[in-house]
Structure 1
Amino acid sequence: SKFTGITCASAISPALKDYMPISKMAPVTDQVVIGTSGTLIKWITNKKLATRDIKILVFDEADHMLAEENFMSDSKRIMRDIQSSAGDCQLLLFSATFNEKVKDFITKVIKKGNQIFVKKEDLTLDKVKQYKVRVPDEIAKIEVIRDKIFEFGQKVGQVIIFVRTKISTKNLHNALTKEDYVCSSIQGSLDHAEREKVIQEFKDGYTKVLISTDLLARGFDQSQRSIWS
């Protein structure tokens, strides 16, 4: 928006220090609104975001927005509210993957939609080596990370470890901290400011190990990292 003159609003939950009751918010008049589904619903419900003039509705990472139960219910409500008041609203869905559940949902919602596919490139780079290590349980997994991955990773750069759940993030962080490793972790319960702080500290090299859910799985680039786990 800096060079185009287009005004934008960010619809995300504010940090506690910046909290303001929705009732005291001024109506949103920006041309583009970008945000999380939960906050958008609050704005629409409290009549801070009028839907009658919305011409384009975009879902990025649509496979998550339309496949996971919490996101799906929010997404369907937003679509319903906008379509009932705005009428002719263009719907755009972007994603690297679409499973059958999402495809079925899309065909029901978008009757005459156009599909645009980008050529799938080879996802494995020639210079990236991949290894699979089978472990019997979570304890053994931590031992492999400590004795094998860190032994190499600490010498050559930084390490990013992806886990499936927020609980796994917390448990692994605690286990490695007890082993005297300086770690940082990031997952969905952190607010935006906290996430940015963790990412920046890792980029600046203050921590060598970053543990994350798939929150960082897309669109994150860190040239110094040597190992993804």
Structure 2
Amino acid sequence: MSAELSILDLFLLASPLVKTVMLILLGFSIASWAMIIQRRKILIAARNQLQQFEDKFWSGADLSKLYAEVTAREHIEGIESLFVAGFKEFARLRKSNLNTPQAVVDGTHRAMRVALSREVDNLETHLPFMATVGSISPYIGLFGTVWGIMNSFIALGAVEQATLAMVAPGIAEALVATAMGLFAAIPAVMAYNRFTHNVEKLENSYGNFMEEFSSILQRQTSAAHSNAQ
């Protein structure tokens, strides 16, 4: 047997079970990287949208015109969905009989809270899968390694004189499973931690906007209620 073996050679020489483990880990790695790339794009877009909308919102734009501008678009997401949900409920409650300032503000706040929960759920899509890959991949790889090394030692028991050259390829192909487990787990864990932090920052920003927007609507409702009396 050649003293130098490539990763492909080690895969081809591995037992069927170890090959299955390697293929599972390879699938985990490919799926994880695809989700990492997708989540990164989505979170960057959400952060940019947050900045652009807040700049427009705090520039003193008329809320009715801003609402019409946002709802004119076909796809509404992120902080814009909170604004639309809040302003829509605000307008609906203002037209109802239960138009006391506190009732209007409470209803608006509940509508935005539901929208916030929905947006956070969207941002956290695929994060549990990354956490799962990061948690179980090393153990799956270790299982393949233990199985491969066990088979190597069982094979050694069938020969009278064992040498390092005989056992080394079997151990090497088994250790590849552990390496693949780490290769799948490390990027997934790093991405999960980073993306979770980014989602928390976005959620805090959305929550701050929600409270500030509620305060603005409360002031408007209180002023209108005072003028009506």
Shorter-chain TM band? under 0.3
Structure with the higher fraction of residues in strand conformation: 1
Question: RCO (CA 8 Å, sep 6+): is it higher in 1 or 2?
Answer: 2
Structure with the higher fraction of residues in helix conformation: 2
If the length of structure 2 is used for normalisation, what is the TM-score? 0.19
